[in-house]
């Protein structure tokens, strides 16, 4: 909120939203995607700033500035997208495979285990395209018969494993630091053919950043 506050105040100086200010605001506003309280506070802040500007200067161009800011706020809010998928069936599997294939630069994967070679193949294909890949998984499950983690590690993908007696039981992935995949679905064949499982895919910036922070924390702790 502090960054948004500072940007709005700076932008209001000339009672217009310049192209560079618009770009900066578009870069920061996604941080309050899906946050009704944050959205309401930002809207109220913009209204209060515009009102004060008019009272102090009599410059009613501040109302045009306010209109531009509100449009930016709601265009950011409307850009939040989320979708859900369920198994048994191939919906979860297909979405995971597409999630990996659609990655442009980097994918961070944090899952309990990987034994479904259909997913493994997509990860290998991503690596062949130059995608930066990091994987965190459970140490005991990585040694199970059928685990593909050793296979992936031999391709050059850096993998790190939980070293405790407890399980690293997360099942999430982050694509290009702007899309999150998360849910109960283990990356196994039985999750597709037998189990009742789910995944959620979302571009909500706060959620993406929260999971990215958790991935980075785990990654650094396992170095």
What residues are labeled active site? 169, 171, 176
CA distances from 63 to 54, 68, 74, 77 (A): 8, 9, 17, 21
Kindly report the backbone phi and psi dihedral angles of residue 187, in degrees, each rounded to the nearest multiple of 5, phi listed first. -85, 65
CA–CA separation, 158 vs 177, rounded Å? 18
**SS3 (DSSP) at 185:** coil
What does the DSSP 8-state code read for residue 105? Answer: S
Kindly report the backbone phi and psi dihedral angles of residue 173, in degrees, each rounded to the nearest multiple of 5, phi listed first. -145, 150
- Residue 137's Cβ-count burial label (10 Å; 0-12, 13-18, 19+) is buried
Cα torsion through 154, 102, 205, 78, rounded to 10: -170
Structure-token pair, residue 90 = 């191939």
Cα torsion through 129, 85, 35, 111, rounded to 10: -50
């Amino acid at each position: 909120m502090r960054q948004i506050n500072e940007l709005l105040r700076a932008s209001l100086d000339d009672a217009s939203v310049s192209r560079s200010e618009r770009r900066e605001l578009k870069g920061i506003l996604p941080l309050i995607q899906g946050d009704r309280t944050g959205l309401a506070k930002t809207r109220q802040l913009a209204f209060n700033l515009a009102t004060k500007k008019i009272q102090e200067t009599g410059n009613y161009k501040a109302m045009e500035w306010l209109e531009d800011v509100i449009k930016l706020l709601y265009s950011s809010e409307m850009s939040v997208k989320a979708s859900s998928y369920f198994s048994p069936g191939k919906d979860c599997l297909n979405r995971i495979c597409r999630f990996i294939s659609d990655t442009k630069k980097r994918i961070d994967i944090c899952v309990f285990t990987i034994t479904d070679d259909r997913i493994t193949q997509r990860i290998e294909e991503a690596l062949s395209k130059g995608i930066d890949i990091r994987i965190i998984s459970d140490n005991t499950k990585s040694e199970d018969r059928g685990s593909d983690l050793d296979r992936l590690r031999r391709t050059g993908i850096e993998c790190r494993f939980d070293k405790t007696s407890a399980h690293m039981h997360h099942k999430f992935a982050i694509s290009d630091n702007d899309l999150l995949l998360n849910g109960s679905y283990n990356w196994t064949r039985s999750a597709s053919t037998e189990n009742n499982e789910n995944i959620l895919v979302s571009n909500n910036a706060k959620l993406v950043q929260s999971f990215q922070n958790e991935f980075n924390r785990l990654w650094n702790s396992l170095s």
